[in-house]
Chain A
Amino acid sequence: QQQVKQSPQSLIVQKGGISIINCAYENTAFDYFPWYQQFPGKGPALLIAIRPDVSEKKEGRFTISFNKSAKQFSLHIMDSQPGDSATYFCAASGSNSNSGYALNFGKGTSLLVTP
Chain B
Amino acid sequence: GAGVSQSPSNKVTEKGKDVELRCDPISGHTALYWYRQSLGQGLEFLIYFQGNSAPDKSGLPSDRFSAERTGGSVSTLTIQRTQQEDSAVYLCASSSDPSYNSPLHFGNGTRLTVT
Contacts and interface: CB of A to CB of B under 8 A. Distances in A.
- For chain B, the bracket of interface size reads 20 to 34
A89 B43 contact: yes
B85 interface: no
A9 to B, nearest CB: 9
A34 B103 contact: yes
Interface of A: 2, 4, 6, 31-32, 34, 36, 41-46, 49, 51, 89, 93, 95, 97-108
A46 B43 contact: no
A43 B42 CA distance: 12
A43 B31 contact: no
A44 B104 CA distance: 9
A51 B99 CA distance: 12
A35 B88 CA distance: 22
Interface stretch (B14-22, B68-76, B105-113): B105-113
Interface in B28-45: 31, 33, 35, 40-43, 45
A103 B45 contact: yes
Nearest to A106: B42
Contact of A107 (B41, B48, B91, B108): B41
A97 B31 CA distance: 12
Contact of A103 (B4, B104, B108): B104
Q: Max chain B CB contacts within 10 Å: which of A34, A36, A103?
A: A103
Contacts of A89: 42-43
User: Which 6 residue pairs are nearest across A and B when measured between Cβ atoms?
Assistant: A100-B98, A43-B106, A98-B56, A32-B100, A107-B42, A105-B42
Given A99-B48, A102-B45, A107-B41, A41 B108 contact: yes
B50 A100 contact: yes
Contacts of A104: 45
Interface string B77-96: 00000000000000101010
Given A100-B33, A102-B33, A103-B43, A46 B98 contact: no
